[in-house]
Amino acid sequence: MAHDELSRCAGYADEKEATMEESDRLRYLKIALVLIGTSFVVVVYPLTIFWPSGWAWHTDGPSLYLQMIIGIYATLGVFLIIAARNPLEHLSLIWFTVWSSIVHGGIMAVQALVYQEHIGHLLGDVPVLLLYAAVLSLLTPRMKKRTTATVTK
């Protein structure tokens, strides 16, 4: 499908309007990637200390699980910040973040409902992960634009 055809299908009057909206979405996506990435690197660990009922699943003593999950999210955060430079080249990472956040947040939500001692997570890490997934999914393009280069035989 041609770009102008996609624009018309999306309800844009012309390609210029679609391009402006696409550039705005891309700019907001870059900002979201930096903010989400930074929060994974800098904010998650302090929240487990200052608000353990909403952010830490094991609160009695040191938790090997917590160290592991913080390491994973800090690493993901660094790569999201890197992806912000050129999000269209990192779509698989962004979509991994969306879907893994939905799965992780969904599992934690069920666990918080089943195990009432973890109910605080419904106000902490669960809605944050689902919010991050929603923001990224709304801002991230569904596919890369095709180049106009042709292959000759």
Distance separating alpha carbons of residues 28 and 34, to the nearest angstrom = 10
pLDDT tens column, 82-137: 999 999 999 999 999 999 999 999 999 999 999 999 999 999 999 999 999 999 99
Q: 140 phi and psi, to 5 degrees?
A: -85, 130
pLDDT tens column, 21-52: 888 999 999 999 999 999 999 999 999 999 99
* Residue 90 neighbours by CB under 8 Å, 6+ apart: 79, 82, 83
Domain boundaries, the chain: 3-51+59-138
Read off the tokens for 12.
């844009």
